[in-house]
Chains A and B, each alone.
Chain A
Amino acid sequence: DAKTTQPPSMDCAEGRAANLPCNHSTISGNEYVYWYRQIHSQGPQYIIHGLKNNETNEMASLIITEDRKSSTLILPHATLRDTAVYYCIVRVYSSASKIIFGSGTRLSIRP
């Protein structure tokens, strides 16, 4: 599975859009981009995933560049409850592929 690079920390004002970047320049054609988040001392929570098209659900939007070498998770109206560590994971949809977490981005939402 391809490696991902994320900034270690970011902050965002409450009510504004939080844009979390992820670099996955070695991604291969059959690898999906997944996003999870982990609120302090809780288990990770799945947010969204995509292959090449932009995706949106009730939690967030995922924008994947045309060359698929990077992506951005967008929380459209950040709240204090969105303070968490956000993980970008790239993996093949395959039983041989593991769900491996890196260090993620610690997002702090300021009032």
Chain B
Amino acid sequence: ETGVTQTPRHLVMGMTNKKSLKCEQHLGHNAMYWYKQSAKKPLELMFVYSLEERVENNSVPSRFSPECPNSSHLFLHLHTLQPEDSALYLCASSRDRAGAEAFFGQGTRLTVV
């Protein structure tokens, strides 16, 4: 138990669906992250939020839309995804962006059909 909780753990969605991934942390951290991990590839940093403000977007397609309503919650809204978007989506948080260590959730295994 890392203190970072992601829901759902598994999600299957069609290409025309809209769904959201949720991440919650009660560690008092100010920075939150979304990572994507495709099969047999390293983790890819997608978005960085600091104090609820998006500070980094690593050329992620607009079909992925993050939202950070407060410092404890982070969402990733998904719409019109492609099968190649199937991956493990990981949320992490750290005390601040300088971040000595990041705490990761268990991830959401997403399958797009």
Contacts and interface: CB of A to CB of B under 8 A. Distances in A.
Interface string B82-113: 00000010111010111111111111010000
Interface in A39-94: 41-46, 49, 93-94
Which of A44, A45, A104 is most buried by chain B, counting CB atoms within 10 A of its CB?
A44
A102 interface: yes
Interface stretch (B41-49, B62-70, B73-81): B41-49
Could you say which interface size class chain B belongs to?
20 to 34
A103 B40 CA distance: 9
A93 B42 contact: no
Contact of B98 (A45, A49, A94, A104): A94
A43 B2 contact: yes
Given A98-B48, A100-B45, A101-B42, A43 B101 contact: no
A97 B99 CA distance: 9
Interface in B1-30: 2, 4
Nearest to A93: B98
Contacts of A102: 42
Contact of A41 (B88, B92, B94, B102): B88
Given A42-B106, A43-B105, A49-B101, A98 B92 contact: no
Contact of B56 (A34, A41, A98, A103): A98
Interface string B33-65: 101000000110100101000001000000000
14 contacts: A41-B88, A42-B107, A43-B2, A43-B107, A44-B92, A45-B104, A49-B100, A49-B101, A96-B97, A98-B45, A99-B33, A99-B92, A100-B45, A101-B35
Given A44-B43, A44-B104, 11 more contacts: A41-B107, A42-B106, A45-B2, A46-B103, A95-B50, A95-B97, A99-B99, A99-B102, A101-B42, A102-B42, A103-B42
